[in-house]
Amino acid sequence: MRIFLIAALCLAVPPGFAQTSSPPSRLGLCAACHGETGQAHMPGVPNLAGQRLDYLRDALQQYRDGRRNVPVMRAAIGPLNDAELDALARWYSVQVAAPPQVRS
Ligand code: HEC
Q: Which of 42, 41, 46 is nearest to 63 (CA)?
A: 46
With a cut of 70, say whether residue 24 has pLDDT above it. yes
Chain centroid offset of residue 88 CA: 3
Is 82 buried (19+), middle (13-18) or exposed (0-12) by CB count in 10 A? exposed
Q: Give nearest CA residue, ligand 1 atom 26.
A: 46
Residue 4: its pLDDT value, please? 54
Residue 54 Cα, ligand 1 centroid: separation in angstroms?
Answer: 15
Q: Tens digit of pLDDT for each residue in 64-104?
A: 999 999 999 999 999 899 999 999 999 999 999 988 877 77
Q: Is the CB of 87 under 6 A from ligand 1?
A: no
User: Which of 62, 73, 93 is the pocket-test mutation for ligand 1 (most atoms within 8 Å of CB)?
Assistant: 73
Tens digits of per-residue pLDDT, 31-59? 999 999 999 989 999 999 999 999 999 99
